[in-house]
Structure 1
């Protein structure tokens, strides 16, 4: 995990982050006698792919098993990763010093996941209010780190079109196909990145500090069902999660932790 965190800090200037987590619905044909078990809130039948991506757009964890109808809080908490994070059984390194505090290592996610010691997500503005500038900057920095999983999903879907369309097979076979695509994605990303993910295919930061979107977006099939993310959950944030996020916010707004042009975002 130390190597993963070093990669995130080097590539995306976000310390102590060991992975970017997200989930996608994979469309399938409703199996016989399944009822509404696989019917998701988007209006089609699916299974859920939950993943963690590293800073180089490879999947360090995949879990493809949940029914499309499963509540999103349940998808994460019932996964092996969610359970391991809940009972602190993952081999996280000891807390590392950031700025003037020692903070835990963590994953980054969006509002579909509960804020906690090991999972950091953006601030959400209160109703009819705007976020304070320092929180807006923090959210921008989180979004940069989160783009790793967004890019991993995008590259995956742009290379394996079967994921963008409804799979006309059993859920068990669909799970195996999705897992195989993820494994092949990792293999080809390592074996021949210049062909599988060439320069500018994924998002990158230009010489002026601007974030430029990758070319994979031009290769996603029209009306792709793979683009649908899992639904936000209302999980209760933990105190240590809030404290860790506040400390990270202070760091990214400090001279030591800031990046070029972040105040213009």
Structure 2
């Protein structure tokens, strides 16, 4: 912080800090809380392992909750998925890598396990042919496939996108009924002065059914605006120095059980 001092007054010329997101991790080993020291390292991608972006650790004797870091929110959102490597050196050593979307502040649970997600590699490989329409128009959505085996214990069989409205999603199935759930983009809660990119979605702090998709990059206003609904041709409107259009948020819709193709 810099201050210009005079005999009768002083002026603070420090620049405002960009919005940050407070992130903490809860680290498990094979789905359980253990006391050994654990580390979690965050990178942009597997091609940029020489550049470490952030480090979280859980102290020995506790081994569960990590330190808290404040990370640049605009950078987190612009990157999208981050490569996260979890390491537990307690014998036998466990290492797990996963791509995570980090944006909303909070505590993220990360399971350092020998099988992805505590069972993601169980079952026979299969394919689901997914098609999503919103108001009769093909739409890109995330689709999650849930399976209910004979023992009644629900499990995630797989998930994936439907670019352009359709896609094939890789699954692991154990012979149960499979249900599909399509999930809309809920966006990021409004943060004052946040730098935003084209395609990102912002939602009001008091949600009323609409989210706002950025059409021109810029910076959100310092004070939350009066939000608007989509009217007529739904033209973009100023949102700070950015521009955005109102989009209806559609609640998740589930269908099933449906057929899958076992490979």
Which structure dedicates a bigger proportion of its chain to helix? 1
Q: TM-score range by the shorter chain?
A: under 0.3
Question: Between Structure 1 and Structure 2, whose CA radius of gyration is higher?
Answer: 2
Structure holding more strand per residue:
2
Q: TM-score, normalised by structure 2?
A: 0.21
Larger relative contact order (CA 8 Å, sep ≥ 6)? 1
